[in-house]
Amino acid sequence: MDDSTDAPDVTEKEIAEGAPTYQHFAELFAAASPKSNEDKALVAAYWVQVHEAKDSWASRLLNAELKNLGHSIPNITDALSSNMRKRPQRVIQLKKSGNSRQANKTYKVTHEGLAYVQGMLHGESGA
């Protein structure tokens, strides 16, 4: 009987430890080669969470990283929401400060999101 649904095969810590080492976000971005805005946002989130060791982050931080490479996303919130609508979710929202749609939101990449980007880095993604 297969009980692999009880727990992930690989922990988030193991994913982070097994992550290829990149000195610059540009190197990681080029290696992942994301095509869609949702994948670009996820790769940037992966960089911030794994390589900069931030447990959670705001979307504006991702767009700043992407903008430096000339890949800014017109609506970063929509790109992150698209990742949250995936099943299983690749990104989750941890909190929201303020009432408006433009409120400051804090996010985190899920285990599935980390594994998806690892797949992109190893050429396993259909992105």
Q: What is the pLDDT of residue 14?
A: 63
| Measured distance CA(127)–CA(125) in Å, rounded | 5
| Measured distance CA(80)–CA(11) in Å, rounded | 22
Stronger pLDDT, 11 or 71, i.e. the higher one = 71
- Flag whether pLDDT at 126 surpasses 60: no
CATH number of 12-121: 1.10.10
Domain boundaries, the chain: 12-121
- Mean pLDDT, the chain, as a whole number? 86
| Measured distance CA(33)–CA(40) in Å, rounded | 8
Q: What is the pLDDT of residue 15?
A: 60
Residue 4's pLDDT band, with cuts at 50, 70 and 90, is very low
